[in-house]
């Protein structure tokens, strides 16, 4: 999927969200927060955000049961971490893409719901920045209407029926 990635000066560039391969994961440096070589499985639900063949961020979705996926891991590359990062909207693009996937692959009453577990110190961030709701302890969801807003804002797609 073609997306627009924004640098810290506000310039937009073409980038792509694609399925990540084992080779992609092996090419990562050691400065990533997660050890993606341990997280990665050949389940076709690990995605990379790429600009000019450089991985800017990674997303892993995982089936929690046969009807829906959860956002298991999301991480921006070390080059994009913090206020001095090279690109400013990597996390937004990946989370909006995760929402998009819930409309495409979730089933029955779970269509459009993105569930995930947040570390305690990020709960407020997910609520404020992404409109996520805390549903139990550290379990959060992005409900379908909020997911649609994220998809429209960040992926520039209108998937409303």
The class of domain 2-155 in CATH terms is alpha beta
Residue spans per domain, the chain: 2-155
What is the structure's pLDDT at 43? 67
- Within 13 A of 127's CA, how many CA atoms are on the CB side? 12
Residues facing residue 15 across a β-bridge: 3
What is the structure's pLDDT at 42? 79
Tens of pLDDT, residue by residue over 41-93, are: 876 799 999 999 999 999 999 999 999 999 999 999 999 988 889 999 999 99
β-strands 139-142, 114-117: how paired?
Answer: antiparallel
Residue with tokens 């550290």: 138
Residues facing residue 117 across a β-bridge: 139
pLDDT above 80 (res 101)? yes
């Amino acid at each position: 999927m073609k997306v627009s990635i924004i640098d810290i000066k506000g310039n937009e560039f073409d980038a792509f969200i694609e399925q990540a391969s084992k080779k992609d994961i092996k090419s990562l440096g050691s400065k990533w927060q997660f050890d993606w070589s341990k997280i990665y499985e050949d389940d076709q639900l690990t995605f990379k955000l790429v600009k000019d063949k450089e991985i800017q961020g990674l997303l892993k979705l995982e089936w929690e049961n046969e009807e829906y996926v959860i956002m298991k891991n999301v991480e921006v590359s070390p080059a994009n971490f913090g206020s001095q990062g090279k690109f400013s909207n990597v996390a937004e693009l990946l989370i909006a893409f995760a929402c998009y996937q819930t409309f495409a692959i979730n089933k029955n009453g779970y269509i459009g719901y993105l569930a995930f577990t947040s570390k305690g110190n990020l709960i407020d961030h997910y609520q404020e920045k992404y409109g996520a709701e805390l549903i139990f302890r550290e379990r959060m969801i992005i409900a379908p209407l909020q997911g649609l807003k994220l998809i429209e804002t960040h992926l520039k797609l209108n998937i409303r029926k």
